[in-house]
Amino acid sequence: MMSQPVVHIHNLNLKYQQKPVLQDLCWTINRNDNWLLCGESGTGKTTLAKAIAGMIPTLEGDIQLNFDLSSPLPAKVHYVANWYQFKDLEGASNFYYQQRYQSLATAITATVIAELTRFGNDQQLSFEALERLLTALGFAGLKNSALLQLSSGEHKKLQLVKALWSKPQLLILDQPYNGLDKLSRKNLNDLLTEISENGTQLIIIGNESELPAAINRFALLKDGRLQEISSPELPQQEVEEIIKPLPSFLQREILTDSAEHIIKMIDVNIRYGDKQVLKNINWEVKPGEKWLLQGHNGSGKSTLLSLISGDHPQAYANNFFLFGNKRGTGESIWEIKERIGLISPELHWYFDASATVWQSIASGFYDSSGLYCSPGSTKHAQVDELIQYFGLSAYKNTLMNELPLGKQRLTLLARTIVKKPAILILDEPCQGLDQQQTQHFNRLVDELCKDGSTLIYVGHFESQLPACIEKRILLEDGAVKSVEHLLQSI
């Protein structure tokens, strides 16, 4: 007698705001099948995953889960979300972006080890297995860090440690490689193959080609339906999106800064208690230069960028110059932010998701999360121009949390450039985007940087970078490992 499939989905339908997302979708997952679920951003992959995990209460159709009751593994689905949501010690989650760099504020969130202890006790897990996972994912040194202090890649690792530790019968991982460096991705794949050999079945959501050896089935979600495919390669789009002429107000040349350096750091050090995060950093960025900032998870990239963006209070205690002025000599944080455009996974996390696309872009004039005042007619017209330029006209009045991730990132890029900043800081801006969206995004960045803008770009994947990048700085354990000139094509 054949065993029942682990998951059997029949004629699943789901609408969002009257628009069909899943249409008569059918999917059978048999025992020993480990799937990659791929498809363009916004096609409903996350929705399908949450439906299987029982996180969407009202569905039309049938989802049957058949766990092996004789297995020692927990008879449950563990879903690892693309983004990690955590709460403070009082159960709230209304954090703001700069809060993660303030030493007093970190006392309101649990430490990594406290969170893992709580999780392990709740799930009745063996703490002997935990140490090996922490070491394999390069996370052991962060046990005493507050959750609020973690970078996006470190938060992803915390999610993964919990999932691997709990060893459910069905593990669904939504974009598990986001924010992970190359070594961490390799180690994760080895760990996933190991738990699959011990009985955990996998569904990985993403468009990756570097996958665990255990992945043996591939499915494409398109137009609300699922089709099995022979490889993880997405069908290539025949028509490449055309880059339109920049809006007129962005076509003005940025005035070359009179200072010789936009950024100059001399022996910069950042310390949290006994932990030194940045060690004797020396770095100079001249006006108009295009830099790639790289380093493994925890190497200090986020902290370095927070000094530049004005969000880190320890900037004043260091020999650090920005736009020719030494930090702490009278300039306000808002005068600094007026000249800097920033995208980062952390900024995206803390952004006001209840703002509309139009409000989100307009908030870039004021460096606020959400819009709290009414822009004048000139600014109003410029926001409208950007909405048309980025192809967001149909979403103008849509809330950010109702948009596919790709549209959210385009909205944040529009927000970043609306004030025509002198320096763009793009920290993993394509995290979670599919290949076509990433290529389109980076072509937009190349176009925007033709006017003399200075660029600092953070990206782990060498194949997913703008063509304009000309220099690279590499961090390792908080120190500068190398600085080099690059060929035009990386």
| Residues recorded for the chain | 490
pLDDT digits (tens, 9 = 90+) for 99-109: 444 444 455 67
Is residue 52 domain-resident?
A: yes
Q: Specify whether the CB–CB gap between 211 and 232 falls below 8 A.
A: yes
Report the candidate in 411, 271, 421, 267 with the shortest Cα–Cα distance to residue 339.
421
Q: Rounded to an integer, what distance in angstroms lies between the CA atom of residue 292 and that of residue 237?
A: 28
Q: Are residues 340 and 462 in the same domain?
A: yes
Q: Are residues 252 and 132 in the same domain?
A: no
Q: Which two tokens stand for residue 206?
A: 């993403």
Q: Which of 229, 263, 288 is the last residue of a domain?
A: 229
Q: Rounded to an integer, what distance in angstroms lies between the CA atom of residue 264 and that of residue 285?
A: 7
Is residue 470 domain-resident?
A: yes
Q: Are residues 224 and 337 in the same domain?
A: no
pLDDT digits (tens, 9 = 90+) for 224-276: 999 999 887 655 554 456 778 888 888 766 555 567 889 999 999 988 777 78
Q: Which two tokens stand for residue 28?
A: 């059978």
Q: Rounded to an integer, what distance in angstroms lies between the CA atom of residue 445 and that of residue 426?
A: 9
Average pLDDT (301-307) is 88
Domain count, the chain: 2
**pTM recorded for the entire structure:** 0.80
Cα-based angle 439, 351, 341 (whole degrees, multiple of 5): 55
Residue 238 makes CB contacts below 8 A (sequence gap 6+) with none
Q: Are residues 327 and 208 in the same domain?
A: no
Q: Rounded to an integer, what distance in angstroms lies between the CA atom of residue 410 and that of residue 430?
A: 10
CATH code, 85: 3.40.50.300
Q: Are residues 215 and 276 in the same domain?
A: no
Q: Which long-range contacts (CB under 8 A, 24 or more apart) does 129-138 make?
A: 129/165, 130/161, 130/165, 133/161, 133/164, 133/165, 133/191, 134/161, 136/187, 136/190, 136/191, 137/161, 137/184, 137/187, 137/188, 137/191, 138/183, 138/184, 138/187, 138/296, 138/297, 138/298
Q: Which of 164, 198, 229 is the last residue of a domain?
A: 229
Residue 102 makes CB contacts below 8 A (sequence gap 6+) with 313
pLDDT classification of 96: cutoffs 50, 70, 90: very low
Q: Which of 197, 229, 261 is the last residue of a domain?
A: 229
Residue 197 makes CB contacts below 8 A (sequence gap 6+) with 214
Find the domain containing 318 and state its range.
248-485
Q: Are residues 119 and 62 in the same domain?
A: yes
Q: Rounded to an integer, what distance in angstroms lies between the CA atom of residue 333 and that of residue 277?
A: 22
pLDDT classification of 125: cutoffs 50, 70, 90: very high
Q: Are residues 305 and 358 in the same domain?
A: yes
pLDDT classification of 330: cutoffs 50, 70, 90: low
Q: Are residues 222 and 174 in the same domain?
A: yes
Half-sphere CA count of 126, side-chain side, radius 13 A = 6
Is residue 111 domain-resident?
A: yes
Q: Are residues 217 and 341 in the same domain?
A: no
pLDDT digits (tens, 9 = 90+) for 392-421: 999 999 998 888 777 888 898 899 989 888
Q: Are residues 206 and 254 in the same domain?
A: no
